Structure 1
Amino acid sequence: MAAPRSIADLLFWPVVAGGAASLWLGRPALAVTVLVVTAVLTHRLGRGRRFRRRVRRLVEPHRGTLALRRRQETYVDPYDNLILDGWLRERDYFVARTLRPRLEAEGYGDLAEARREEILALVEAASLAEAHEEADALPEDGIAYERFCAALLERAGWQARATRAAGDQGADVIAEWDGLRLVVQCKRYAKPVGNAAVQEVVAARSYWNADRAAVVSNAGFTPAARKLAGATGVLLLHHDDLGSLRPRR
C-alpha cells in the first residue's frame, strides 16, 4: 500500500496552478486558490481526529469480549502483585489481528504505526468500561463455587448438578443437554490454572462417559494448560462464559 502523501505534496499542484491562474485572472483566481489550500489543510489536519474516532468505532463492538478477556488473563500473585502479562498479550493480539488490518485497509496504516500507544490506550479504556461482577462477590469456598457454576449452567438451559466431593473422579459438575453430557471441573483460584486440572477432567470425561469436558475458573490458564487442552479437546472457560454455553459435539 502506498504511503499517504505529505502536506507539501498535496499542496504543490494547487499552489502552482493557482499561482499561474492568478497571474492571468487576478484576485478571483487567487481567492479560489486560498480556498482550495485551506480545504486541503483542514482535511489533512483533521485526519488525526478521524483516526481516533475510527479506532473507537472499531473497538466498540468488542468491548464486552475485551473486558471478559481482561478478567480471564489477570490475577493477583501470592505476593499481592497484579499480574497483567496475559492480558497485555491478548491486547496486543487484538490490535495486530483485528484493528491494524482494518486501519491499513482504510488508509490509516501510517497512523496505526505512529500512534500505537494511543490505540492501546483506547483498547485499555474499552476493557475497563464494561461493568462486571466483582471477584469479591464470587463464592470464596470451592464447593460453593462448584454450585455457583452449576447454577449458571442451569440458567443457560442445561440440566446440571454439582457432584459429591468424594468420588467425583475429577468432575465437579455434570451437565446434560439433549443427550449430550458435559463434565466440568471448577477452579476458584487466585492464579492461572495449570495443566493438572486439564488432565483430571480428561480422566473424568472417560469415567463419566461424557461427550465434552471443560475446566471453568475465575482466573486464566497457563500456557501449558492451554496447549494440553487444545490437544485433548477440553474447553477452558471463565464462569462468565457459562451463560452462553451451548451443546457442541
Structure 2
Amino acid sequence: MFRYLWRHKAFSAVLLFLFGIGLDLQPTAAWAGLALLLFLRLTKVHPLLLIYDLTDRAAIKHIRTLATKRAHMLSPDEYGNVSEETWDKHLNTFIKKTLLPEFQRRKVDHLLAKNPKRYAGRLRTRINRIIDRHQPAQPLAEVDETMTGREFELYCRDILQEAGWHAALTPGSGDQGADIIAEKDGRRVVIQCKFYNGAVGNKAVQEAYAAAAFHDAPYAVVVTNSVYTKSAHQLAQRMACCW
C-alpha cells in the first residue's frame, strides 16, 4: 500500500510543510496530518515499513540468485519429496548477512531482536512473494513436448549459436557422454542434453564431467527441459569445487 512513506524522509517533510500551510487554509486537515506524522514516528509502524522496504529492494537486487537458489533447493529428491528446510535456512542466512547490517545501519533492527523467529518468518514469506512476482521467465518456454532427444540437442545448439558461441553436435557415438561442444573466447564447454519427463539424477552429472575430462574441457553442463534431483545439485556443486 505504501511505497514507502519514509524513503528519504520525504513524507515527513511534506506533512510538516502541509501542516504549516494548512493552519490557515484548513486547520482540521493540518492537525490530522500532524497527528499521522506523530503516530508513525512514535509507534513501530515506521521501522516496520522501512524493514519491508529494505527487504524488497535487497530481494529485487538479488532476484536472479535467489530464484536460482530456490529452484535448486526445492527440487524433488529421487523419491519426489520436496523439503523446504534447506531453503528456509538459506533465507535466514540471507536475512542475517545481507539484510540485518542494513537494518542496523538504519537503526530499525530492534524489532527483529524482540521476536526474531516471528519477523524472520515474515521476511521469508515476503522474499518468496517477491521471487514469485519478479523471477526471470523460464528460458525453455518454447520447448515442444513432442521433441525427440536429438531435436532438443539441436534446439540447445541453436540457442548457444545465437548467443555467439561456436557450438557443434557430437556424432552420437564415441562422444563419452557429450552432446554438444561449445567454444567462445577461448573457453570450451561440454554439454549433455537431457530431454526428460522425470527428474535428472546423479548419472547425468557424472557423465557430463567424464565427457569434459575426455574432451579436455574445463566446464561441464547438464541441460534439461525438466528438473534436477536434490542429490544431482549436491553432486554438481561438489564436483565443481574439486574440478
Q: TM-score range by the shorter chain?
A: 0.5 to 0.7
In 2, the alpha carbon distance for the partners of 1:203 and 1:211 equals 11
- Give the 5 Å matches for 1:1-249: 42-45=40-43, 46-76=46-76, 84=84, 87-112=87-112, 113=116, 114-130=118-134, 132-133=137-138, 137-140=142-145, 141-188=148-195, 190-191=198-199, 193-194=201-202, 196-217=203-224, 218-220=226-228, 221-232=232-243
**106-115 vs 53-62, which moves further:** 106-115
Structure 1 contact 139–148 (Cα < 8 Å) conserved? no
In 1, the alpha carbon distance for the partners of 2:65 and 2:217 equals 29
> How large is the Cα RMSD of the aligned pairs?
3.3
Give, as a single letter, the amino acid of the residue that structure 1 aligns with 2:157.
A
In 2, the alpha carbon distance for the partners of 1:193 and 1:168 equals 20
In 2, the alpha carbon distance for the partners of 1:188 and 1:84 equals 26
Q: Quickly say closer, same or farther: Cα 1:84–1:214, change in 2 above 3 A.
A: same
Structure 2 contact 200–227 (Cα < 8 Å) conserved? yes
Q: Quickly say closer, same or farther: Cα 1:223–1:96, change in 2 above 3 A.
A: farther
Q: Quickly say closer, same or farther: Cα 1:172–1:128, change in 2 above 3 A.
A: same
Q: Quickly say closer, same or farther: Cα 1:108–1:148, change in 2 above 3 A.
A: farther
Structure 1 contact 75–84 (Cα < 8 Å) conserved? no
Structure 1 contact 162–172 (Cα < 8 Å) conserved? yes
Q: Quickly say closer, same or farther: Cα 1:107–1:211, change in 2 above 3 A.
A: same
Structure of greater Rg: 1
Instruction: Give the C-alpha shift of residue 52 in structure 1.
Output: 1.6
Give, as a single letter, the amino acid of the residue that structure 2 aligns with 1:94.
F
In 1, the alpha carbon distance for the partners of 2:166 and 2:51 equals 48
TM-score normalised over the length of structure 1: 0.63
Aligned residue pairs, count? 196
Instruction: Give the C-alpha shift of residue 125 in structure 1.
Output: 0.6
In 2, the alpha carbon distance for the partners of 1:38 and 1:180 equals 60
